[in-house]
Structure 1
Amino acid sequence: MSKYGSLFLPLLFSSSLYANAVEIVGEVPVKISTTSNLNKSLSVSKTIVVQKLQLSPAAKMALKGRIDELQGYGNQPSLYKTTAAVRINLGMNKTPVLDQGQHGTCVTFAMAGALDALMGYGDYVSSLCSLQLGNYLVRAKLASYSGWDGSWGTAVFNQLKKYGMVTKAYQVKYGCPSGVKQYPLSNNANITKAMSIAQYTAVSRPLGNITGLVLADSNAVFSPNFNATALLEKVKQQLRSGRRVVIGFLLDDNQGSAGAVGTKAKRFDSWVINASILKKAKAGSLYSGHEIIVVGYDDTALIRGSDGRLSKGLFILRNSWGPYAGDNGNYYMSYEYFKYLVDEATALYRK
């Protein structure tokens, strides 16, 4: 018997949200510009994959209502007076930039990266082993998503909390399952193989006192009463408490680098709103999404959009598109973009 025995660990979050306001219906390959690993002055094209989403009619109406209401307030970074720090950057605590390759595994990589940063052991949590367990759970009808072609942050965290985490060191030495030792960056080799619950829990380690706080799920975000500015303030508060936040958001995969049309440090390293994105969002015609880690914020920083417009106030993000994408693996998101297009947020911390 594994160390988990027959212990039942209840899910921390409701799974009912996974089939309502937003559905994950596939994945979308997208070409982005990255820095050449041979010559940093050159840009090269790289294919990444984002989630394909489908919003319900009610969710589309709620999104339009949210944007209309926010536009009525003007482009203000915050509606709340505060004496809190104007900038925070938690960094990633020795965690290298991860690379999800050409798979829709952003949620699994974001959660693994956030756990890595919380523990401070470097590239410690195996995303591959979690995904292969996901294959088994889907086939056994114990989960809706394996994680290979999309998922939700709460679903991935629930799985890790219930079954534990397998280390990257174990994966590289023994495989997940046996013999599958390397994550397939650019092909589909072994992505259908499964790791059973018994195989997984025999070698996994419990998360212990690591827990997640759901700040907003997709049902809440795409409801008429959602307060996007309040959520922004909650995320900033979590960061001030030393907690990184995993967020999901909608994007336009036909512009910039996977919808990133702004520039802070590098060209197309930032998600900002422009007229085209705004028009599509209000029409309910944004069909792609991504998951990422928020590691900091800056109330005074500026991002310049491809249309020349400046956006003030931003979140600092750690992506999983490799170290040559964005600003050496990091990206940025204007507060305005967050308020318009966020679709979930979960903070990770130790009790």
Structure 2
Amino acid sequence: MKSGVRVNRRNIMKQIKRERFRNRLWHLPLLLLIVASPAFTEQPFDPKSVQSRECQAGQFQCGFAPPSAELDESVPLADSAMISHRGLPSRVDLSADMPPVVNQGQQNSCVAFSVGYYTRSYLEKKARGWSYDSPPYGGAGERVFSPAFIYNQINGGQDSGSYFHHALDLVTQKGAAPWKVMPYNANDYRTQPSQAIKNAAMQYKAASYKRLPFDNVEAVKAELAGGRPIIFGITIDDAFYKLGTQVYDQTGGRTYGGHAMTLVGYDDSKTSPKGDRGAFKLINSWGTQWGDKGYGWISYKQWIAMRPYAYVLYPAAGTTTTPDAQEEVTEVVQGDIQPPAKVEASQGTYSDRIEISWTPVTGALAYGVTRAEPGQDSFRFVGYASKTMHADTKIQVGTNYRYRIIAIGEEKTSDAGNSPVASGYASASTTEQSPATVPGIEVELQGGNGSYRVNVTWTAAPGASHYQIRRWNAGGNRWQVWNQKITTTQFTDAGPVTNAENRYSVRAGNASGFGPWSDVAAVSVPGEATPPNAPTGLVVSNGIYKDRIALRWNAAPGAEKYAIFRYSYATKKWEGPIDESASASYVDNSARVKDGSFYAYTVAAVNGSGASSYADPAVGRANPNVQRDGEKVEAPTDIVATLEPSGQVTITWKGVKGADEYYVLRKKKDAADYTFAGNTDAKTLRFTEKFPGKPGELYLYTVRSKPMMGSESPDGRPAAVFVNAEIEVVSHRFMPGQGLERMTGEWNGRYWDGKSAPRIFKLKIEGDGNQITLHISDDRGAKATVKGVYPSMADSVQLKGVTLDYRENLDVLILRGSDGLPILAGQTVSFTR
């Protein structure tokens, strides 16, 4: 399929060749750099060979400039950061597929090397199956990407380094140019790309990028296990310059500034000189004489201690290549269902209960709440929930509990072990307790033809009486906060910024103040240079028609057309785009679908600026056994099941055109088949009966429509109804404050804002029964003392102005400060000992 964003490659290359001839003096310094580079000699690594005049102790300008805390928070989290991970391989290594190690020289262009040369080149290699031709190794440079194209456009004309968000925005909005068309020259950081070079780069735009929390080691490992390198930046010191084949596990000597690199693997069994177990593998841009032939290792514990800024880059979907969605298709066909992305629990907000809330799950009909007793690792079932919140009243005050949520689908349930874990407790003293974090936020773009609005919805937070919302102002590099108190869980932004990604965040409030801001949800509002968002709500007909399969989806604002892709289970491959549609529907009447086999479909939205990512796949089939085409009617929709206090179950649904009667069916959870419960005439869209089970059981109800002369429809989407069984409170005999002894003592932390030397923190934790005291100080004279109540066996404690998280497996502490604690002022600082 031809897209409106395709360009004439031959004409572009002719223009570029003419410009390269006029600017061929570029090549002389490049060749000199290659000859003199430590990457191509046998000399020991010399730090001065990669240090600019600004990259010196006390100046802190070595290439990577950290973003402000606000800017960093504005980047949406990667999905991997919002789920638990089990079954990850113990070792992953992507280095065999990475470009050859090169040397950036004394230019502060490390961000461009990490984003462009290493990560973008890797993603394109994996997508196209091509081999690298890196110019420093004698190649033509057509299949690796130019650091100069990125760095020279984002450094403001100064060789003082750059920000990740500038580089990532550039490769997602303007693409990446092959090295051949804009060769890298360590002595030239000002030459700008011509229009021809920019046109060439547009063919290699990335789709998006996401943020990875520095303290979520499992999320970083999951991305690497999924074949995605991690772009990151940390401060560097003498110990890092001297790193050889060993694992970097502690700072040493002078600190010089920030440096960007790329993670390419991990090894859970790798042990550092200090005895830290587990390490990440990285690739550097200092040539092969540094580290282990240009690669290095950093322990998991030191990774958290260094508080890196980390991002993952995603390739564009495109409309000329087929999707890579085998895993998603398997989930659709097998009825697999994912756990909630995030779970939150109240911490001391109530004296008589713990409220748990979580993000909704697509395909979930109900949820199961599981709980681990204090000090135990096993989780047991405590009850069902129909919505995304549950109040646990069978608890012991002053004791910490952990929760996992199970999403329940029609055929399967999510793996409880993959659910995020939330810690919560009730407190006898509930004063000065602000609400928990809003667990989930979703955004939907509505409107069209240049008039758009964004509908923002979120999950209720434990302890909240109202909410506040904000939108990131990219032009002003700050958050725009709407100050009104919102008492619902919905907000409409009637004036989003067009031709830009709009990012939103919500926080919950009550009489004691506001809780932390939620994670960010983002939506692109189309414009002249912005592709549309992925279509949503894809529905595929399932046996309704004899000789065709019908698709429909929600129109994507800003889309000019849609590309249709089909998955064959016979070949186990995606096909397409098989066709395109100008509207939000399509009928596949090709000969191959008429045999009744199942096919999966997905759709990408397209406009003049490019293509969206793919819609979530859906599966359907034709039905050659239908005697006359169209004789079947559609299944009922909007089925709702309600349990009255009297124990009566009421089922309602939306009527179907052409139906003469309706059949109501039910089955107990985990039963193989539905059984007949009753029927109604065409005008009666309601059915009642007494709950057929006993406490602790869940039933699913579905409805089928039936025409007068034809066969009944497929089942409608079922609804769940249940009665929870009573559970007993388990009494625990803990000493007051038991578990606090794991954290008491002295800790060391650091935080770098890029403006001066890293800020060094000292933390002393004291315990007296269930009373916890934090003494926080820094090397600039600031001090603070925070006191509160410690619930027995807690790893996470919410105190006034700060939240403390303890990671026992790595023996690290994370302090997340609020604006009410000036010494931290909203910063997150990691501590080790």
Distance 1:348 1:182, change over 3 A: closer
Contact 2:235 2:259 survives alignment (8 Å):
yes
Whole-angstrom CA distance in 1 between matches of 2:105 and 2:152: 16
* Distance apart, 1:35 and its partner CA: 7.7
Whole-angstrom CA distance in 1 between matches of 2:277 and 2:171: 36
> Given residue 164 of structure 1, which amino acid in structure 2 is its aligned partner?
G
* Distance apart, 1:262 and its partner CA: 6.6
> Given residue 44 of structure 2, which amino acid in structure 1 is its aligned partner?
S
Whole-angstrom CA distance in 2 between matches of 1:115 and 1:36: 21
Contact 2:175 2:204 survives alignment (8 Å):
yes
Distance 1:233 1:195, change over 3 A: same
Distance 1:95 1:194, change over 3 A: same
Match of 1:158 in 2: 169
Whole-angstrom CA distance in 2 between matches of 1:169 and 1:245: 25
Contact 2:206 2:313 survives alignment (8 Å):
no
* Partner-residue secondary structure (3-state), 2:173: helix
Match of 2:123 in 1: 118
Contact 1:92 1:295 survives alignment (8 Å):
no
Alignment of 1:69-218 (within 5 A): 82-93=86-97, 95-112=99-116, 113-120=118-125, 121=130, 122=132, 123=134, 124-134=144-154, 138=156, 148-171=159-182, 181-184=183-186, 188=187, 190-195=188-193, 198=195, 200-208=197-205, 210-216=207-213
Whole-angstrom CA distance in 1 between matches of 2:301 and 2:217: 10
Contact 1:300 1:313 survives alignment (8 Å):
yes
* Distance apart, 1:342 and its partner CA: 2.8
* Distance apart, 1:44 and its partner CA: 4.7
Describe the superposition over 1:288-329 as per-residue Cα deviations: whole angstroms up to 9, x where unpaired.
11111111111111122xxxx333210010111112221111
Distance 1:81 1:169, change over 3 A: closer
* Partner-residue secondary structure (3-state), 2:181: helix
Structure 1: which 5+ residue stretches go unaligned?
A: 6-33, 60-79, 140-145, 172-180, 217-227, 265-269, 281-285
Contact 1:93 1:118 survives alignment (8 Å):
no
* Distance apart, 1:263 and its partner CA: 4.3
Higher relative contact order (CA 8 A, sep 6+): 1
- RMSD of aligned Cα (Å): 3.5
> Given residue 162 of structure 1, which amino acid in structure 2 is its aligned partner?
Q
Match of 1:246 in 2: 231
Whole-angstrom CA distance in 1 between matches of 2:151 and 2:98: 23
Question: Normalising to structure 2: TM-score of the pair?
Answer: 0.27
Whole-angstrom CA distance in 2 between matches of 1:166 and 1:341: 32
Distance 1:169 1:85, change over 3 A: same
The one of 275, 285, 294 equivalent to 2:263 is: 294
Distance 1:86 1:263, change over 3 A: same
* Distance apart, 1:202 and its partner CA: 3.2
- The yes-or-no answer on 1:237 pairing with 2:222 is yes
Whole-angstrom CA distance in 1 between matches of 2:44 and 2:161: 28
Please list every run of at least 4 consecutive aligned residues from structure 1 whose deviation after the TM superposition is greater than 4 angstroms. Answer: 2-5, 34-39, 53-56, 260-263
Distance 1:300 1:182, change over 3 A: closer
> Given residue 151 of structure 2, which amino acid in structure 1 is its aligned partner?
L
* Distance apart, 1:347 and its partner CA: 1.0
Contact 2:270 2:279 survives alignment (8 Å):
yes
Contact 1:313 1:335 survives alignment (8 Å):
yes
Whole-angstrom CA distance in 2 between matches of 1:95 and 1:191: 22
Distance 1:262 1:328, change over 3 A: closer
Describe the superposition over 1:110-153 as per-residue Cα deviations: whole angstroms up to 9, x where unpaired.
01111111112424101112223335xx37xxxxxx7x422222
* Partner-residue secondary structure (3-state), 2:148: helix
* Distance apart, 1:246 and its partner CA: 0.6
Contact 1:248 1:342 survives alignment (8 Å):
no
* Partner-residue secondary structure (3-state), 2:239: coil
Whole-angstrom CA distance in 2 between matches of 1:36 and 1:199: 31
Whole-angstrom CA distance in 2 between matches of 1:81 and 1:241: 12
Distance 1:36 1:341, change over 3 A: closer
Match of 2:310 in 1: 345
* Partner-residue secondary structure (3-state), 1:165: coil
Alignment of 1:308-347 (within 5 A): 309-347=274-312
Structure 2: which 5+ residue stretches go unaligned?
A: 8-36, 70-83, 135-143, 318-833
Distance 1:292 1:55, change over 3 A: closer
Distance 1:272 1:301, change over 3 A: same
* Distance apart, 1:154 and its partner CA: 2.3
Between 1:158-167 and 1:201-210, the stretch displaced more is 201-210
* Distance apart, 1:207 and its partner CA: 3.1
* Distance apart, 1:348 and its partner CA: 2.1
Contact 1:236 1:297 survives alignment (8 Å):
yes
Contact 1:249 1:344 survives alignment (8 Å):
yes
* Partner-residue secondary structure (3-state), 2:101: coil
Match of 1:256 in 2: 239
Structure whose CA Rg is larger: 2
Match of 1:62 in 2: none
Between 1:84-93 and 1:99-108, the stretch displaced more is 84-93
Distance 1:155 1:44, change over 3 A: closer
Question: Normalising to structure 1: TM-score of the pair?
Answer: 0.60
Whole-angstrom CA distance in 2 between matches of 1:38 and 1:343: 31
Match of 1:142 in 2: none
Name the % identity. 22
* Partner-residue secondary structure (3-state), 1:168: coil
Describe the superposition over 1:78-111 as per-residue Cα deviations: whole angstroms up to 9, x where unpaired.
xx89442211112251511122111111111001
Describe the superposition over 1:199-235 as per-residue Cα deviations: whole angstroms up to 9, x where unpaired.
542332333454322224xxxxxxxxxxx43x22211
* Partner-residue secondary structure (3-state), 1:342: coil
> Given residue 133 of structure 1, which amino acid in structure 2 is its aligned partner?
Q
Contact 2:92 2:224 survives alignment (8 Å):
yes
Whole-angstrom CA distance in 2 between matches of 1:243 and 1:342: 20
Greater helix share, structure number: 1
> Given residue 154 of structure 2, which amino acid in structure 1 is its aligned partner?
G
* Partner-residue secondary structure (3-state), 1:336: helix
Contact 2:176 2:205 survives alignment (8 Å):
no
Greater strand share, structure number: 2
Whole-angstrom CA distance in 1 between matches of 2:154 and 2:229: 24
User: Matched residue pairs, number?
Assistant: 244
Contact 1:92 1:117 survives alignment (8 Å):
no
Whole-angstrom CA distance in 2 between matches of 1:36 and 1:248: 22
Describe the superposition over 1:241-271 as per-residue Cα deviations: whole angstroms up to 9, x where unpaired.
111111111232xx2343x55742xxxxx42
